[in-house]
Structure 1
Amino acid sequence: MNRQGAITVLIAADLGNSETKMYINDQFLKQPSVIKRLFSKPENLELDVEKSILNLDHELLVNVSSQAIRRDGLFMIGERASRSADVENMNIKLGNKYKHDLPVIMLLGMVASHEVRNQYMEQGALPNFLEVKAKLSTAIPASEHTNEKAEALRRRILDHSHHVTLHVGEQQVNVQVSFDDVNVTQEGIPALYTLRAANHEILKDYVSLYDYNISEEKLDKLPKKIAEKNIVHVDIGDGTTEFNYTEKLNPVLDLSDGQRFGVGHATQEAINLLKSEVGGYLDLNRQQFMDIHRDRNNPLHKDAVNKLMEAKYTQSRLLLEAVQEKVVQTAGRVNFIMVYGGGSIQFKTELYEDLIEFAADAKLEVIWVPEEYAINMNVDGLRILNEKVLYA
């Protein structure tokens, strides 16, 4: 804490349609991007404060009062909300993330809970009040990014003091969150910073695919070398796929955009197919469907896997055509197609071989980022941007 008692933090936040991921200083946290507005506080069965703190990520309940959102209220956030019906998640067909309240509520709730837990762990008791001052870097999709929209989101967060009441069991902690600086960039661009700073493991599949036999010294320099080439980025997300084109570390904005297809659209179609399979007696959001998809013991697991596979094939054809069009637009200047994002894991079976074949015909090479790096390329890049460039 500084002399005034305020906690100062540095935040890198990927406000995704599926998950909200962030670094607060050097600590990583994530939650499903879903909220549920409540009109009365639910009954609490856990009275032990320490148990409530340990379980806080799974039971997030906050009052948010801020001029940055349209209406103050009491919200379940993240994992707790995803277990409920009638929840709110990002409308992946409409987009306009910069206008939506959900990302702001997710951001404020997660920051408040993180700092309250840290204070409890350090002091052994719940504080009554915390003041948090933050510097933040985040991004909005290329499909909707303009300087005006980025500035609109920046001002929403920067221009107001935000008040969060965190419910910990039967107790409450008041948290005031304000931002000294906010940087809003375009999704996909931070991934370049991740690539430049990475070790050669991020290119292990690429090196194996093209059977490169180079020295350890050259291998260590390869990520930075490739980052300085001309790259079509294919960042497959939940609601959008971002196609960013960079030349020698600089984004070419006229050739960078996004389109509204991805895992979320395939998931929504799979939900409709699964609903028909069970006679219409099913009401799921995307997060709940994916819970079934991951749970081998769920009676609908096999059906969910099959329906998502059908839906992903259709989306993969759209993705392949979009990548091909983007390469054509670069007029022969591109060296690499780099694929990452959470959707790159889901779509690899349907898309990988066809993309390799296309790249070979076009005299390009494909970098399909390994799963352990792909899902956090943007949030890792935002963190690097914070620490190495903006707030070094």
Structure 2
Amino acid sequence: MNMKVAADIGNSTTKMIVEDELFSQPSVIRRLMKKPQITETDLKKNVTNLDENLTVHITSPAIKGTADGLYVIGRKAITTDLDKVQNMNIKLGNKHKHDLPVIMILSMIARKIIKDEFNETGELAESYSAVCELSSAIPASEFSFEKAQILEKRFATKAHTVIVHLGEVRVTINLTFKKVKVTQEGVPAIFSILSEDETILEKFNQMYEKDEKNQHETLKPVDLKTMKIFHVDIGDGTTEYIYTNGVNPILDACSGEKRGVGHATEEATVLLNEELNGLMKINRQSFMSIVADETHNLHNEAVNALDIAKGSQANFILEDTIEKVSNKAGNNVDIVVVYGGGSIQFRQYLFDDLKEFTDQIKTKLLWIPEEKAVNLNVRGLDILNRKVFFNKKR
């Protein structure tokens, strides 16, 4: 079988589109030293619940030899033994060298094959083979064509094997990558915005209709093709600052910084540990579980710490944006566009200040609506797969 795969390997979540299906997993894995205990033998139930119980054995030339082995992936990993999970080190970066993105991508492709084959036939063969065309992206803060090629070659050089555990059943998935394209994060988003209908700009147009100082003609997505755009893509471990002339990145003016939700969480974790005077050591994963659990005895303290840390990160992002719009783009910007998962988390701390700045330099602010903001990059990669990267007519 042949597959076009778009994979957005975020520090928090890995998102994937294959054959029009968008699915995701937390970017977390946990190594197993022995085979998992079988608790369910019904194959249909195991396939249906595969996203919650994705367990795989990976053998791949793209990862360190010592990393070959048995893993639980994503949602399964974060429900078991948080102290032993592996996630992206948001301080170190170098996503193109990490094993975790490779393990996530291989596992999620295998998941897609298992679900599709079972849904179509009601049964599973012992093995399947797939030839993939894969696109992904790495942060602008680390992007170079050489680093992109390193990640491309890790997938494309040799075949990869994923054995998926489904109760008593084992299914072997053999994957080869015919073509791999790695671009920089932020760039695919403009293709996604251009493909959207006019509802993505509805709140933007309403805001400027009411703004007597900055009134404008109604903007349509297609109008962005001819505009100079400064992108602020707020993620978990990095915030990408991308400057494009329409769909074309101006590479010397693109950069990224280690800002985002993950850094706010780590800062808040330190604050909470300080408040507890070392009586108990809370890590990033357990901190977020406290924030999510309103019944936890430390919930209010954790939320307050996170609120302080988000405000601090928002200030950094504001300062970055002002500095880069001035020094990288020479204030020659038609519109500042903000998106990414962090744009939802930081909106209340950042929107007013960023709007004031854009008003001062006589440009406009487009804050992508929450329901669209998270998936712009993966949808953009999918569009690029079909129209640019792997288009046979090209």
TM-score, normalised with respect to structure 2: 0.93
1:280, distance to aligned residue in structure 2 (A): 4.0
Q: Which amino acid aligns with 1:13?
A: A
Asked if the contact 2:236/2:342 (under 8 Å) is kept, the reply is yes
Aligned residues: 380
Counterpart of 2:390?
Answer: 391
In structure 2, what is the Cα distance between the partners aligned to 1:26 and 1:311? Answer: 37
> Hey, what does 2:55 align to over in structure 1?
61
Partner residue of 2:144? 146
TM-score for both structures, normalised by structure 1: 0.93
Cross-structure match for 1:187: 185
2:37 to 38, 43, 56: 43
Query: Does residue 1:238 correspond to 2:236, yes or no?
Result: yes
1:73 pairs with one of 47, 69, 72: 69
User: Hey, what's the Cα distance between the residues in 2 that align with 1:307 and 1:251?
Assistant: 37
Q: Does 1:22 align with 2:16?
A: yes
Give the deviation of 1:115 after TM superposition.
0.7
SS in 2 for 1:190: helix
Cα distance per residue 1:22-80 (max 9 Å; x no partner): 10111111000001111111212112211111111111111000110002111111011
CA 54–292 in structure 1, closer or farther in 2 if over 3 Å, else same: farther
Q: CA deviation at 1:11?
A: 0.7
1:98 partner SS: helix
Query: What secondary structure, in the 3-state scheme, does the structure 1 residue paired with 2:40 have?
Result: coil
In the alignment, structure 1 residue 170 sits paired with structure 2 residue 168: yes
What secondary structure is seen at the aligned counterpart in 2 of 1:210? helix
**Does structure 1 retain, via aligned residues, the 8 Å contact 2:136–2:181?**
yes
Distance 2:282 2:104 in 1: 23
Cα-Cα RMSD: 1.6
| Aligned partner letter, 2:188 | P
Aligned identity (percent) is 45
The alpha carbon displacement at 1:298 in A equals: 4.0
Give the corresponding residue for 1:315: 313
- Find the residue that maps to 1:211 and give its secondary structure: helix
Match of 1:32 among 26, 44, 47: 26
Corresponding residue to 1:12 among 2, 6, 10: 6
Partner of 2:381: 382
Say if 2:271 is the partner of 1:273: yes
- Alignment match, 1:3: none
Q: What is the alpha-carbon distance in structure 2 between the residues aligned to residue 252 and residue 325 of structure 1?
A: 17
Letter aligned with residue 391 of structure 1: F
| SS in structure 1 of the partner of residue 97 of structure 2 | coil
Matched residue, 1:332 = 331
- Residue in 2 aligned with 1:259? 257
- Structure 1 stretches lacking a partner, 5+ long: 1-6
The 1-side partners of 2:267 and 2:99 are apart by: 25
1:153-187, Cα deviation, whole Å (9 max, x unpaired): 00001111000110001211111011111111110
Larger displacement relative to structure 2 (356-365 or 268-277): 268-277
Q: Could you say what secondary structure the match of 1:93 adopts?
A: coil
Distance 1:212 1:136 in 2: 44
Letter in 2 for 1:240: T
State the AA in 2 paired with 1:306: N
SS of structure 1 residue aligned to 2:336:
strand
| CA-to-aligned-CA distance 1:231-276 (integer Å, 9 cap, x gap) | 1100000000000001132111111000011111001111222334
* Other-structure match for 1:366: 365
- Partners of 1:298 and 1:126 in 2: CA distance: 43
Of 334-343 and 295-304, deviating more is: 295-304
**Contact 1:232–1:326, Cα closer than 8 Å, also in 2:** no
Q: Quick one: which amino acid aligns to residue 96 of structure 1?
A: N
Instruction: Give the aligned residue type for 1:388.
Output: K
